[in-house]
Structure 1
Amino acid sequence: MLNLAAARAPAGPLAAVRFAPSTRFPLTAALLISAGLTLSTVATPGWADETTASPDSTGALPTVKVSAARDAETASPERVSAGALGNRKQVDTPFSTTVVTTEQGKDLNASTINDLFKYDPAVTDAGNNVTGENAFFSIRGLQIDMLNGVKVDGQNFPSWDTELSLEPFEQVEMLKGLSGFMYGFSNPGGIVNYVLKRPTDDPYRSFSIGYESAGVFSEKVDLGGRFGNDNRFGYRLNLVNEDGNTAEANGHVRRQVASLALDFRITPDLTWTADAFYQKRKTNGTLFGLMFGPGLGIPDPDSVTRELTQPQNFYQTEIASFGTGLDYRLSDNWHASLKYRFAKENRTNSDSLLYVENAAGDYQNTLYAAMTRYFYQNVDAMAQGKFETGTFKHDVVIGASYQTQQSEYDNSEGWNSGYSLGTGNLYSSTLLTNDEVHIGENLYRQEATSQTSLYASDTVQLTSRLSALLGLRYTQYRDKVYQPDQSVMSNYSANPVSPTVALMFKLDPYSTVYASYVEGLQQGGAASNTNLNYPQTYGPLKSKQYEVGYKSDHRNWGANLALFRVDQGYDYTNTANVYVQDGTKRYDGVDASGWLQLATDWRIMGGMMWLDAKAVDVDDPTVDGKRVYAAPRFTLTGRVEYNPSYLRALTLAFGGKYVGNMAVDAANTQFVPAYTTWDLSAKYETQVAGKDVTLRAGVNNLFNRRYWTTSWGAYVMPSATRTFVANATLEF
């Protein structure tokens, strides 16, 4: 249930005069076009030649490269987990996907999920974890579902207003668009699946130290290997400690992470796995967001003070998870798995909503101090196999899953109405405090949902080039929302069947043209405590997706092109401050990306997305036909990498991203302007005392561009400042 009791704002109509966006195409966007004429994702191959050794099971590449040509096996992850479709090569799926490995993330100086996918043109930042509660983004204009859109090894994971640390994971996979058949209920924006690091066949040890401005230091350990008779037991251990002052006002971060993955090869065909994961992160100096009252435009972010937070503002999340499973190779053509995962999230917020009241920038600061909890359990069983019927070849997947979610909310003053810290102004810093602020722990069960699913798919090889996919998922969905006294406020059930159909044509072994149709459902929304119709709740929203695409991954170039339409039920707060589900959000767009190795020293990559997102068949005339909030019409990315032939140990990179303007609200009375950011990085690989050492450094948001992000159809957030990062990794 998308209950934006987290969407806290003073009651009142969301009306404002339209902020007229600039129609001029900025010079920086033109520069990005020249850098991104060849379109790309970040999940592109690394530098290596045909003689470069393959990576070991850790994914680590040899330290010093001797050529800049691509090695198809070491460059980019070829396979992606596709839920009910099983594990497949990316080029063999009729959907848009992006996969970024741990090593690629390090080269991007990535510390958040936003950093990991920054050069995917379909991705737009909706918030960050330095000035706000957490880093999160939208895909093709649709926000990731925080309750159902994040997976760990394909299973649901709590991520409400939080994010997972990247260190315990081998790679992160992004599926763009609807996932109803593949994963069940979820927002049609897409799925983010974190793949845990697993035990290595050979001993692996690494130690890293890092620094981020203005004074954040980190230490990281990654250990893996096998032991016992015939090395049947394996382990992988990751430990992270991070602490220090950030570059933001009142900013400080402290983060601890521990993860352990084990396996036992019971027989050559049967493997048992288990893993445990723990993460705790606390950030001081955070905001929930800013909300601008009726008749107000969004000011130039450069004119607003950076000192908007107060000493009492902080945000903390704590996550614990345990998973186990059995993997059995029945034969050369058949494989079965059974897995279970439990996960828990504790979330404590003491951050402020700033409600701007007038053009002079005066605001009311309301601090919400509360605790919430989320509990998830998943059980999944799946079998995947191949067989032939006459001239047709079949790749089938059958499975069943059961998952439960439960949320607990705080019924204290700090959650329901918040604490007033007083008034301030956007253009000057003001110290505001309230001695009455405290975190309540009067938690009650707020919502409980369950999903029981059966699914099956068959990919039929009709000819040597042409194949067809048919998939069906049947789900029993149950959702109950409770009052603090535990009386049932709403009780909803549904038994949908979600189909997927697709045709795929292989132009060559490395290229596919496809057309696909997907249906899906997502949990319905609920009015927040700031809406006039609080606490009204709604049933699930239905979505449909049509996509035609092309994907190719060759030795010296790669490309992805998708033309798509997504129709989704529309939920929004109207100008009367009533939360409604009415009409349809329609997203028509083009998502294109690719990479090209120009010469032995140079490689360019980039991408673009054009998006026409608008409301259709909406009863409210102030919303019908308007742009969907938080959806840019145009994004553009470009990145150039230079790996000089005279010094293969060194790689330099320069990249940028342009994001078009976005509506803040459904009626399009407010807009945040377009922006462009640039990044610069360097990597140097060497040896010290016979051990491999990698040095990395870079500057994110090189020119300290200030901009606004927007989400939830009402709120804006300031961007993070320029950040310098540096780290060193020793492998031994």
Structure 2
Amino acid sequence: MSAVSTECASLRLRSWVYLGLVMGLSVSPLAISTSYAQEVERRSYAVPAGELGAALTRFAGQAGVSLSVDPALMQGRRSEGLSGSYSVEEGFARLLQGSGLQLQPVRAGGYTLVAAPAQSAALQIAPITVVGVSPQLASGERYAGGQVTMQTSQGMLGSRDFMDTPFSATTYTSETAQNQNARTLLDLIANDPSVRSTNPAGGRFEQFTIRGFSLFNTDVAFNGLYGVLPTYSIDMEMADRVDVIKGPSQLINGISPRGAVGGGINLVSKRAADTPLTEFTGSYASNSQVGGALDVGRRFGEDNRFGLRFNGVRQAGDTEWDHQHVDREMAVLGLDYRGERVRLGADIGHTERDTDAPQERVLIGAAAPIPDADRVNDNYAQAWSKARTEDTFAAFNGEYDINEDLLFYGAAGVRESDHDFLRHNVSIINEAGDFNVQPRDFTRDESVRTATAGLRSWLQTGPVSHELNLAASYFYMDFTNGGARYATGPSNLYDPVPTPAPGAPTRIDNEVYTENRFSGVALADTLGFMDDRLLVTLGARWQRVKVDDWTNGIKGETAYDEEKVSPSVGVVYRLAPEVSIYANYMEGLSQGKIAPSTSINEDEIFAPFVSRQVEVGAKYDRGDVGVTLSAFRIRQPAYETDAATGVFGPNGKRENRGIELSTFGEPWQGVRLLGGLMYIDSELTATNDPTEDGNRAPATPEYSVNLGAEWDVPAVRGLTLTARGIHSSSQYLDQANSKKIDGWERYDLGARYAFAAAGKDVTLRASVENVLDDRSWISAGASDDSAAGLTLSAPRTYLLSATIGF
């Protein structure tokens, strides 16, 4: 980069910072006259009819106030909603009409609900904060049916109702994970048609695609911070909810460690509620995995300001695959403080996961056809192979209300990880399914430091409202890769052959040390027109990506230091209280790809690249069912390992054009739906081989469908039956479109029964995944990185759990 361009970028950055500070200071009460404040006291609201708790939460979010309630008061109550111009008190009164409840101010901008005196003047209320400024510190209100929340965490933009969000997003609750016996993130994302797993369930690590583009666990954020969560597998017991955001999301959280562009996933940690919680869950997973999980929450001090939440898990035993054993442990402690102007949170966690005989993707040689998945009945991983991962992490966040119109927030996180693998590739060389077992000892040590800070302010300029956000972020990660190779032995995919455990190494791999530094400054303004029926978000993020690497202590030649300004625009318009339409344009800078171990240029780092998305959509919220329909287009460079030379590198560009439909809620009393479908038309252009131009990008199914349903059996109170179907159409393995895997389906069934025994709440759950025990290739890898290879479906798996509340 030239000195002139560097100076220009520096001047742009200083100008944005200065402009952001001026805007932030302009919202001081001294800059707004009293008469003007009185003029904007009333504003327009649109809240659809539905459950009372959902309606109140939505109104409080639109009004920018906090609301505290006892959930017991909400049960069985509904609201007719409202549409029109109201003051805060008038709006609450309209929503509460006929409910037997009334509003009670507790502080500036804060309210609670109590029973009306005519019903119970002596009723004592234990408030629970359900709406606040921070998505990290406030629990999201559950949508009808309890499977998703109405609000989605959006990083520097705060937490917003899904109807006021200019992109497609779904937030899954901890209840969904628990009721589905979801152990890791891989289990939970089976609900989303836009997300697919690209690594075996019994493998060394989890990896996904969103809208056809890869997303690693490192790209999964924790309370808005990247790189804090464990690298290879994320336990669901630590999450209160999981946000799945579609499309490039660098504006809201900054650049992710592996540069995910199809979307982002964010885990929100659990926090203690005002009601004491002590739950123990015993679990079983076939073949013989037995475990237990403890969830404890308490609040202390005046007004329950201090909170403690602990989640611990231990599960161990054999899986359905031969000689495969999994042992996982997790302990996460969540602490928080909620004052009138200060809110603080901290999470400290440690996880360990040991897997014997983990499965690998199946690589296909140039002369080999696609293997027959129906014939793969035994674990093709050697019994001596293993995966050992250990992660220790901590995250801290806080908010401070400088005044009623200006908020400061910040967060920081750290992680230390040690990973040790003894593995081998499964590279099929012929039609018979033969492959050579070459043991490889692979170690990886990681260290992460990350932080973000920002200002959020609200002001009014004439008829236009503004929510201004200024944020800065920094991410640092270093890691060391090392290992050794051992003598090979023959085996077969259909009839695995045991080979001796590795002895003396035949080759010591190079030790590769890499440092990643990502920094950025972002500025965004959400403008509200027509009483906020029209919301326009204009934003930009300056990003710098600096990567350095050393091999055996010698500085590498592929390091780089790049920077770019990425603009973003989002528009939402409320056609009616229950209907909104939206559009967005987003750009994202991503870290360059890294050549895989299967290429001859292993660990080569490529330059950063830019991805671009255009999306339009519509959302419908009936109060008890929500629907999002969107059409999108995402462009980015394509990468591939050349079959002839074995060199990994750029090979043209790819464009994914798609349509996405998602739905959730309880359309009929006692019947809940969750799922949707996605269609993608993926095309390659400007490839190294002109005959491949116009081909479909590999590992990208044309259709993906997920639909889950729950039914509360009327005749048996507390009994719920569940079912889910998942489908993906065929996928190509290579850019030449010469090899293809068939489409596949998976069906799951389950039931749960909730009851009280000896004064304790008990819930029993049973589910069967892959009821038909179908053997299929469910993924051809991740099309935009090095992960070409087939993923085998998990066999039929039985899951049982019992939760007891003390």
State the TM bucket, normalised to the shorter chain. Answer: 0.7 to 0.9
**Alignment match of 1:545 (pick from 610, 613, 616):** 613
Taking the aligned partners of 1:529 and 1:103, their CA distance within structure 2 comes to 39
Q: Give the number of the structure whose residues are more often helix, by fraction.
A: 2
SS of the residue corresponding to residue 567 of structure 1 reads: strand
Taking the aligned partners of 1:312 and 1:276, their CA distance within structure 2 comes to 33
Question: Residues 194-205 of structure 1: matches in 2 within 5 Å?
Answer: 194-205=267-278
Alignment of 1:142 onto 2:216:
no
**Alignment match of 1:456 (pick from 523, 526, 532):** 523
Deviation at 1:254, TM superposition (A): 0.6
Deviation at 1:541, TM superposition (A): 1.4
Alignment of 1:593 onto 2:662:
yes
Partner of 1:157: 227
Moved more, 313-322 or 72-81: 72-81
Partner of 1:382: 454
Q: Summarize deviations over 1:428-482 as a string: whole Å, max 9, x none.
A: 1311123416899999552111122111111101223222110110112211121
Deviation at 1:674, TM superposition (A): 0.8
Moved more, 192-201 or 239-248: 192-201
Please tell me whether the aligned partners of residues 376 and 775 of structure 2 are also in contact (alpha carbons under 8 angstroms): no
| AA matched with 1:690 | G
**Alignment match of 2:689 (pick from 620, 641, 660):** 620
Deviation at 1:596, TM superposition (A): 6.5
| AA matched with 1:460 | L
Taking the aligned partners of 1:644 and 1:692, their CA distance within structure 2 comes to 19
Distance verdict in 2 for CA 1:604–1:342, change over 3 Å: closer
Taking the aligned partners of 2:55 and 2:470, their CA distance within structure 1 comes to 37
Taking the aligned partners of 1:52 and 1:579, their CA distance within structure 2 comes to 51
* Greater RCO (Cα-Cα under 8 Å, separation 6 or more): 1
Equivalent pairs, count: 676
Taking the aligned partners of 2:150 and 2:801, their CA distance within structure 1 comes to 28
Partner of 1:524: 592
Deviation at 1:533, TM superposition (A): 4.3
| AA matched with 1:274 | A
Please tell me whether the aligned partners of residues 420 and 434 of structure 1 are also in contact (alpha carbons under 8 angstroms): no
**Alignment match of 1:98 (pick from 165, 170, 175):** 170
Moved more, 364-373 or 663-672: 663-672
**Alignment match of 1:260 (pick from 325, 333, 340):** 333
Please tell me whether the aligned partners of residues 372 and 443 of structure 1 are also in contact (alpha carbons under 8 angstroms): no
Q: Summarize deviations over 1:8-61 as a string: whole Å, max 9, x none.
A: xxxxxxxxxxxxxxxxxxxxxxxxxxxxxxxxxxxxxxxx97699999x99998
Deviation at 1:722, TM superposition (A): 0.6
Question: Residues 425-444 of structure 1: matches in 2 within 5 Å?
Answer: 425-436=492-503, 444=511
Alignment of 1:728 onto 2:798:
no
| AA matched with 1:353 | N
Q: Summarize deviations over 1:191-232 as a string: whole Å, max 9, x none.
A: 111111123222111111010111101111111111234433
Taking the aligned partners of 1:503 and 1:666, their CA distance within structure 2 comes to 36
Taking the aligned partners of 1:61 and 1:368, their CA distance within structure 2 comes to 54
Q: Identify unmatched segments of 5+ residues in structure 2.
A: 1-49, 58-66, 80-140
Deviation at 1:605, TM superposition (A): 4.4
SS of the residue corresponding to residue 500 of structure 2 reads: coil
Taking the aligned partners of 1:202 and 1:441, their CA distance within structure 2 comes to 57
Partner of 1:227: 300
Alignment of 1:687 onto 2:756:
yes
Instruction: Give the share of equivalent positions with the same residue, in percent.
Output: 28
Alignment of 1:561 onto 2:632:
no
Distance verdict in 2 for CA 1:641–1:199, change over 3 Å: closer
| AA matched with 1:625 | G
| AA matched with 2:478 | Q
SS of the residue corresponding to residue 339 of structure 1 reads: strand
Partner of 1:496: 564
Please tell me whether the aligned partners of residues 143 and 624 of structure 2 are also in contact (alpha carbons under 8 angstroms): no
Please tell me whether the aligned partners of residues 632 and 657 of structure 2 are also in contact (alpha carbons under 8 angstroms): yes
| AA matched with 1:167 | E
Partner of 1:31: none
| AA matched with 1:90 | F
Question: Residues 106-255 of structure 1: matches in 2 within 5 Å?
Answer: 106-130=178-202, 132-147=203-218, 149-157=219-227, 162-185=232-255, 186-255=259-328
Partner of 1:24: none
Distance verdict in 2 for CA 1:105–1:160, change over 3 Å: closer
Partner of 1:294: 366
TM-score (norm 1): 0.87
Distance verdict in 2 for CA 1:177–1:561, change over 3 Å: same
Please tell me whether the aligned partners of residues 614 and 634 of structure 2 are also in contact (alpha carbons under 8 angstroms): yes
Partner of 1:409: 481
Distance verdict in 2 for CA 1:125–1:435, change over 3 Å: closer
| AA matched with 1:705 | D
Moved more, 443-452 or 474-483: 443-452
**Alignment match of 2:544 (pick from 476, 480, 489):** 476
Partner of 1:4: none
Distance verdict in 2 for CA 1:643–1:439, change over 3 Å: farther
Q: Identify unmatched segments of 5+ residues in structure 1.
A: 1-47
Alignment of 1:351 onto 2:423:
yes
| AA matched with 1:729 | T
Please tell me whether the aligned partners of residues 52 and 65 of structure 1 are also in contact (alpha carbons under 8 angstroms): no
Distance verdict in 2 for CA 1:690–1:79, change over 3 Å: same
SS of the residue corresponding to residue 558 of structure 2 reads: strand
TM-score (norm 2): 0.79
| AA matched with 1:144 | L
Please tell me whether the aligned partners of residues 733 and 741 of structure 2 are also in contact (alpha carbons under 8 angstroms): yes
Question: Residues 700-711 of structure 1: matches in 2 within 5 Å?
Answer: 700-708=769-777, 709-711=779-781
Please tell me whether the aligned partners of residues 483 and 489 of structure 1 are also in contact (alpha carbons under 8 angstroms): no
Q: Summarize deviations over 1:502-559 as a string: whole Å, max 9, x none.
A: 2211123343201100001111123334434455432011110000011223223211
Q: Summarize deviations over 1:76-117 as a string: whole Å, max 9, x none.
A: 312111123222222211111111111011122212212212
Taking the aligned partners of 1:96 and 1:419, their CA distance within structure 2 comes to 48
Deviation at 1:238, TM superposition (A): 0.9
Deviation at 1:696, TM superposition (A): 0.7
SS of the residue corresponding to residue 309 of structure 1 reads: coil
Taking the aligned partners of 2:508 and 2:69, their CA distance within structure 1 comes to 44
Please tell me whether the aligned partners of residues 728 and 745 of structure 2 are also in contact (alpha carbons under 8 angstroms): yes
SS of the residue corresponding to residue 525 of structure 1 reads: coil
